[in-house]
């Protein structure tokens, strides 16, 4: 409730920070569906985000359609991409899946830079709409929607199917889980939410070009936020996104060129000492106390 | 026709360097099962070490190469011994993430230490070239190609013939069995990663001679190394050479006939296709 009312009480710069953080949290949460629950480390979610951005931008700039239609177009593009490419790509496991999705993102940058309707590599400029409060509410609504979807996944037959795929895909198939269908659905659902976030971001920023729309760094950011918070948990990715964005925002105003360095160091330390994220730390810290960190290192070291 | 020939020559020369870039990545991936996303950053570091040896101490870049390799070997050894060994048994995703974190840290440190300016290692003979059946062959590119090829063959012989090389291959095949035969995995892992870093360093030094270096070149070089390792398969250095040459030629031809902006579509498109059709690599073993 407090967060929904933020535009009426917070300062303009805080609202802008809020919009970008809400969108990042949405992305982390959307990644959570395919990466956290199904266990497929997708580096291609920035493609969904980019398709959402470009779908919205092309509809509004080239065809003069309203924003809502653009959002829908972007979402349709992303879901179509997830189904068509998900079918062959989701057959790959582990590193191979991760790298293949990474390469897909690179291919999309290069393709979009050569397409006329997408403005080639100069990009597109969207009509300006002043009203950060509106964008804030849209981003907030989207995050709530995505989190509700994750909540449903965590409790549903579909979600249990995804988790069984994550733990042991062969066993899941033997037990009657239609693994291909489940994985493609998870990929498409993840893409749907990421595309909506991309569309809102494009309209808010009013400018986009291929390199920033399909930025792999953004994909890595959502993964880090999800993993830091706890992949495969309902609120972990959201908490991770808010914590990391908050710290990074404070750091970048204090010491601007060290904010990026901070991200790198956090990843390294988090992977070594709390590989299952804040959610797991919260659950098991009471049991282990400070030994929790040493225990993680002991289990995973050579 | 002569244009095509020139492009093929360029592609082959570029491909040799590509192969050397991918070699370290493929070695570490094959033996340690770590996909090192910081590989490109190690290449970048190697380029800077070589650059400062050349500009600071005016050592010829090809002479500075062994020193660069030594420095990167030490760095890689320590990195694996005291950091990566801590997470080696964690799920694959965590090792991917930690090497990405290292990549970010190295890139930012490089930006602070070396600034974001483009640098080139420019020895006096940098502009020299000679004609080969009508195609111009730049001397430095040919030298870089020869060094890359020589290092690949040395690595192949090392893995095939020496005791340590056998220990590394045994570890790659079966860690537990290798341990039972007296291989000390902590050291072997650190040595292997050190070797991978040294090869990255050599590739970086050569890259600095034939192209331009700044702190941000790492990511795209990692991706290219990756594509080559996938195309060539992880089993043998010779497959990596073939993968490097293939990618070098395809990129050059795409740039000529379709357009320079499509060169990346070609290389990454091929990567995606190869992965979908044959996940063990075009030249890799069928499982």
Q: Which residues of B touch A224 (CB under 8 A)?
A: 97
- Quick one: pLDDT band at residue B280, thresholds 50, 70, 90? low
Q: Is A220 on the interface with B (CB under 8 A)?
A: yes
- For the stretch B102-124, pLDDT in tens is 998 998 899 888 888 888 888 87
Judged by CB atoms closer than 8 Å, whether chains meet at B97 and A302 is answered as: no
**CA–CA gap between residue B228 and residue B233 (Å, rounded):** 8
Please tell me the distance from the alpha carbon of residue B269 to that of residue B263, in angstroms, as a whole number: 10
* Per-residue model confidence (pLDDT) at position B286: 45
pLDDT reported for residue A2 = 59
Q: Which residues of A touch B103 (CB under 8 A)?
A: 264
Helices B61-82 and B39-57, axial angle in degrees (round to 10): 140
Provide DSSP, chain A: -TTTTHHHHS-HHHHHHHHHHHHHHHHHHHHIIIIIIS----S-HHHHHHHHHHHHHIIIIIS---HHHHHHHHHHHHHHHHHHHHHHHTT--HHHHHHHHHHHHHHHHHHHTT-TTTTGGG-EEPPP---HHHHHHHHHHHHHHHHHHHHHHHHSHHHHHHHHHHH-HHHHHHTT--HHHHHHHHHHHHHHHHHHHHHHHHHHH-EE-HHHHT-HHHHHHHHHHHHHH-TTSSSHHHHHHHHHHHHHHHHHHHSGGGHHHHHHHHHHHHHHH-TTHHHHHHHHHHHHTTHHHHHHHHHH--
Is B59 within the bounds of a domain? Answer: yes
Domain-embedded: residue A282: no
Q: Which of A107, A113, A227 sits opposite B268 (nearest CB)?
A: A107
Mean pLDDT of chain B: 84
H or E segment at B130? Answer: strand B129-132
**A158 within domain boundaries:** yes
Q: What pLDDT score was predicted for residue B90? A: 79
Tokens for B269? Answer: 């498109």
Mean pLDDT of A44-70: 87
**Above 70 in pLDDT, residue A66?**
yes
Of the candidates B101, B261, B271, the beta carbon closest to that of A268 is on B101
- Domain total of chain A: 1
Query: Residue B200: in which H helix or E strand, if any?
Result: helix B185-210
**Digit-coded pLDDT (tens) for B191-214:** 999 999 999 999 999 998 888 888
Number of domain units in chain B:
1
Name the residue among B287, B285, B249 with its Cα closest to residue B270: B249
Six-digit token string for A189: 């659902």
- In chain B, residues 53-92 whose CB comes closer than 8 Å to chain A: 83, 85-92
Residue B284 is assigned to a structural domain of this protein: no
> How far is C-alpha A123 from the geometric centre of its chain's CA atoms?
23
**The pLDDT of residue B94:** 81
> Is A295 domain-assigned?
no
Comparison of pLDDT for A187 and A127, the residue scoring more:
A187
Percent of all residues in chain B with a pLDDT value above 70, rounded to a whole number: 96
Q: Considering the domain boundaries, does residue A242 fall inside one?
A: yes
Place of tokens 């970010």: B104
| CATH code: domain of residue A108 | 1.10.3470
Q: For residue A17, what are the domain limits?
A: 8-257
Average of per-residue pLDDT values in chain A: 84
The answer as to whether B187 is a domain residue is yes
Q: Is there a domain that residue B208 lies in?
A: yes
Give dist(CA A26, CA A238) in Å, integer.
7
CA-based max dimension of chain A: 60
Q: Which residue has the higher pLDDT, B142 or A296?
A: B142
Mean pLDDT of A227-246: 87
Residues A18, A23: Cα–Cα separation, whole Å: 8
Task: Answer yes or no: do A300 and B94 touch at CB < 8 A.
Answer: yes
How many residue contacts between A and B have a Cβ separation below 8 Å?
137
| Partner-chain contact B108 A260, CB within 8 Å | yes
* Residue pair A81/A48 in contact by the 8 Å Cβ criterion: yes
Over residues A32-54, the mean pLDDT reads 89
Q: A33 pLDDT exceeds 80?
A: yes
- Residue B250 belongs to some domain of the structure: yes
* Whole-number pLDDT of residue A184: 92
Phi first, then psi: give them for residue A90, nearest 5 degrees: -75, -5
Assess if residue A85 is contained within a domain. Answer: yes
- Whether the pLDDT of residue B41 is over 90: the answer is yes
Q: Which of A75, A28, A27, A31 is nearest to A186 (CA)?
A: A31
DSSP-based three-state secondary structure for B137: strand
Q: Min CA distance, A131 vs chain B (Å)?
A: 35
A residues 11-40 near B, CB within 8 Å?
A: none
Q: Round to whole Å and give the CA distance between A35 and A236.
A: 13
Note the pLDDT tens digit of each residue in B144-184.
889 888 998 898 888 888 888 888 888 887 778 877 877 78
pTM of the model: 0.82
The Cα–Cα gap between A47 and A218 comes to 10
Percent of chain B topping pLDDT 90 = 17
Distance of CA A124 to the CA centre of its chain: 23
Q: What pLDDT sits at residue A160?
A: 92
Looking at residue B1, what is its pLDDT?
Answer: 56
pLDDT digits (tens, 9 = 90+) for A189-218: 999 999 999 998 988 888 888 878 788 778
Structural domain contains residue B31: yes
CA A248, CA A20: separation in Å to the nearest integer? 12
Q: Which of A95, A96, A118, A255 to mutate to test the interface with B (most CBs of B within 10 A)?
A: A95
Compare all CA atoms of chain B with the CA of A111 and give the residue at the minimum distance. Answer: B265
Q: Which domain holds residue B144?
A: 2-277
pLDDT digits (tens, 9 = 90+) for A237-264: 899 898 888 888 887 777 666 777 877 8
Helix, strand, coil shares of chain B, percent, nearest 5, are: 75, 5, 20
Any domain includes A202: yes
Of A99, A110, A272, the CB nearest to B264: A110
Question: Which stretch, A98-102, B4-8, B46-50, B253-257, has highest mean pLDDT?
Answer: B46-50
Residue A226 belongs to some domain of the structure: yes
The confidence score (pLDDT) of residue B287 equals 41
Length of chain B: 287
pLDDT tens readout for residues A132-172 = 788 888 888 889 999 999 999 989 998 898 898 888 888 88
- Residue A124: strand pairing partners: A208
Distance from CA of A233 to the nearest CA of B (A): 17
Contact B90 A257 (CB under 8 A): no
Question: Is the predicted pLDDT of residue A15 greater than 90, yes or no?
Answer: no
The percentage of residues in chain A with a pLDDT greater than 90, rounded to a whole number, is: 20
């Amino acid at each position: 409730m407090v967060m929904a009312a933020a535009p009426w009480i917070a300062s303009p710069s805080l609202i802008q920070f809020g919009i970008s953080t809400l969108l990042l949290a949405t992305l982390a949460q959307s990644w959570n569906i395919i990466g956290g629950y199904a266990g497929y480390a997708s580096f291609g979610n920035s493609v969904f985000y980019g398709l959402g951005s470009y779908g919205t931008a092309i509809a509004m700039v080239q065809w003069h359609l309203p924003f809502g239609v653009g959002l829908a177009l972007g979402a349709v593009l992303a879901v179509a991409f997830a189904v068509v490419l998900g079918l062959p790509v989701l057959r790959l496991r582990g590193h191979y899946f991760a790298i293949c999705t990474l390469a897909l993102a690179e291919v999309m940058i290069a393709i979009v830079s050569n397409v006329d309707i997408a403005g080639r590599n100069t990009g597109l400029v969207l009509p300006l709409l002043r009203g950060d409060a509106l964008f804030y509410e849209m981003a907030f609504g989207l995050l709530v929607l995505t989190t509700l979807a994750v909540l449903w996944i965590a409790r549903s037959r579909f979600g249990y199917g995804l988790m069984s795929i994550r733990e042991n895909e062969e066993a899941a198939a033997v037990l009657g889980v239609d693994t291909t269908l489940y994985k493609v659905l998870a990929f498409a659902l993840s893409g749907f939410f990421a595309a909506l976030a991309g569309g809102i971001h494009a309209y808010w920023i009013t400018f986009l070009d291929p390199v920033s729309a399909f930025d792999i760094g953004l994909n890595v950011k959502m993964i880090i936020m999800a993993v830091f918070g706890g992949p495969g948990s309902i609120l972990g990715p959201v908490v991770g996104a808010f914590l990391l964005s908050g710290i990074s925002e404070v750091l970048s105003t204090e010491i601007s060129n060290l904010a990026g360095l901070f991200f790198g160091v956090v990843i390294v330390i988090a992977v070594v000492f709390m590989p299952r994220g804040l959610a797991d730390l919260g659950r098991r810290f009471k049991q282990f106390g400070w030994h929790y960190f040493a225990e993680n290192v002991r289990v995973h070291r050579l | 026709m002569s244009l095509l020939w020139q492009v093929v020559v360029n592609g082959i020369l570029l491909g040799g360097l590509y192969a050397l870039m991918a070699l370290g990545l493929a070695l570490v991936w094959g033996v340690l099962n770590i996909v090192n996303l910081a590989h490109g950053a190690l290449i970048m570091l190697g380029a800077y070490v070589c650059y400062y040896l050349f500009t600071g101490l005016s050592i010829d870049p090809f002479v500075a190469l062994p020193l660069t390799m030594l420095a990167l070997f030490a760095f890689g050894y320590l990195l694996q011994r005291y950091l990566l060994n801590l997470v080696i048994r964690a799920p694959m995703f965590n090792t991917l993430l930690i090497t990405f974190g290292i990549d970010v840290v190295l890139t930012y440190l490089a930006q602070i230490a070396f600034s974001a300016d483009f640098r080139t290692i420019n020895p006096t003979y940098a502009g020299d070239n000679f004609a080969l059946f009508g195609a111009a062959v730049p001397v430095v590119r040919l030298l870089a190609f020869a060094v890359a090829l020589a290092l690949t063959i040395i690595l192949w012989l090392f893995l095939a013939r020496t005791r340590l090389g056998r220990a590394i291959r045994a570890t790659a095949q079966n860690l537990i069995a290798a341990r039972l035969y007296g291989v000390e995995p902590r050291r072997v892992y650190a040595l292997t990663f050190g070797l991978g870093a040294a090869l990255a360093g050599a590739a970086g030094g050569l890259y600095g001679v034939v192209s331009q270096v700044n702190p941000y070149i790492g990511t795209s070089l990692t991706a290219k190394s990756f594509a080559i390792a996938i195309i060539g398969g992880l089993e043998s250095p010779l497959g990596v050479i073939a993968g490097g040459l293939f990618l070098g030629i395809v990129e050059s031809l795409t740039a000529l006939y379709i357009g320079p902006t499509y060169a990346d579509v070609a290389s990454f498109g091929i990567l995606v296709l190869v992965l979908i059709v044959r996940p063990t690599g075009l030249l890799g073993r069928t499982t």
